[in-house]
Amino acid sequence: QVQLKQSGPGLVQPSQSLSITCTVSGFSLTSYGVHWVRQSPGKGLEWLGVIWSGGSTDYNAAFISRLSISKDNSKSQVFFKMNSLQANDTAIYYCAREDGYGNGAMDYWGQGTSVTVSS
């Protein structure tokens, strides 16, 4: 079955970077794109970026200067890195699979990585 499992730190120092790995199973990264979405405490969902099946990326313009998404197809892993974190980056970060129909939906989600930015 399709699964996305996330791993990453729960605590990040201000001005430091955040790295999260999303390991997928049940599908190939050469066939599906993977999005990253975050949810600040008590707030809604915010799209951060996507890596498409072919390896190209698109980012939310608000984060383009400090966000990087890459992947290793052979290991079924997607890598998320955000630089220069501040307190307002405290959030749950999710990876999610695009549904493959080209309509922008996300059909499977990881369990989320809760990240606190604090010294």
Question: Which residues here bind other proteins, judged by CB under 8 A?
Answer: 35, 37, 44-47, 50, 58, 60-61, 94, 96, 99, 101, 103-107, 109-112
At its nearest, how many Å lie between other proteins and the CB of residue 96?
A: 8
Smaller CB separation from other proteins, 89 or 93: 93
Give the C-alpha distances (Å, rounded to integers) separating 82 from 30, 56, 67, 98, 115: 23, 17, 5, 21, 12
Smaller CB separation from other proteins, 27 or 109: 109
Smaller CB separation from other proteins, 16 or 58: 58
At its nearest, how many Å lie between other proteins and the CB of residue 86?
A: 22
